[in-house]
Amino acid sequence: MPRSSNNTWFAIGVDAWNLTLEATWVIGMRLARMAQGGSRAEREARLMVTEKVAAGMELGMAIAVGRMGSNPEAITSGTIAHYRRGVRANRDRLSGRR
């Protein structure tokens, strides 16, 4: 079995760190929207829960059928990319970039 490259795990760590920063920004924007109350806040809360459940189910299925690869690096990197797509879409939507 080949050894994992430290450079690969370092790159994965950087990707995870970037995802964390971007997700934190999205959380802040969502909290601000929900703090305003009203129908937009209610819609945002529902969307947030629905997206999280769907993302978890999609990821589980992708891992189960082998779409994420077969080694720890590929699965970890694929998982980060999977969540990053959703976070980025929310960032764009909440910031008006859409």
Judged on CB neighbours under 10 Å (0-12, 13-18, 19+), 33 is middle
d(CA 67, CA 78): 9
pLDDT in tens, 8-27: 999 999 999 999 999 999 99
pTM: 0.85
In Å, what is the CA distance from 3 to each residue of 12, 13, 19, 69? 16, 17, 26, 16
Question: Per-domain residue ranges for the chain?
Answer: 20-92
pLDDT in tens, 19-64: 999 999 999 999 999 999 999 999 999 999 999 999 999 999 999 9
